[in-house]
Amino acid sequence: MECVWVMPRPQLTKEGIEKAKRIGTGPHTHDYDEVIAFIGTDLNDPYDLGAEAELWLGDEKHIINKTSLVFIPAGLKHCPLIFLRVDRPVFHYTTGPAKMYF
């Protein structure tokens, strides 16, 4: 399990997105299922993520802007994950039933 707070920052430029793709976690698979969580912190609207993230599943780009849990079955290629815009803190975690992350 990994837990992080993603803190507010300006929206990424095109160059920033390309840099994030190079330095972040690249496309990969696991031999176990994984859940990736994106949790907004607006107590008046908990479904509003207050951010926009780009997550690749297989060869499809998905934009996440709502509080979400994303189930990734074993063997599915996923990532990169890029937070394009963060207006409010986002609680973000990943979990999978493995003894170690690889």
Residue 88 inside a domain? The answer is yes
Domain housing 64: 2-95
Does residue 80 contact residue 20 with C-beta atoms inside 8 Å?
A: yes
In angstroms, the CA 10 to CA 87 distance is 8
Q: What is the pTM assigned to this prediction? A: 0.86
Instruction: Provide the number of structural domains found in the chain.
Output: 1
The tens digit of pLDDT for each residue in 55-87 reads 999 999 999 999 999 999 999 999 999 999 999
Residue 102 inside a domain? The answer is no
Given a cut of 70, is residue 101 above it in pLDDT? Answer: no
Residue 17 inside a domain? The answer is yes
Residue 101 inside a domain? The answer is no
CATH number at residue 35: 2.60.120
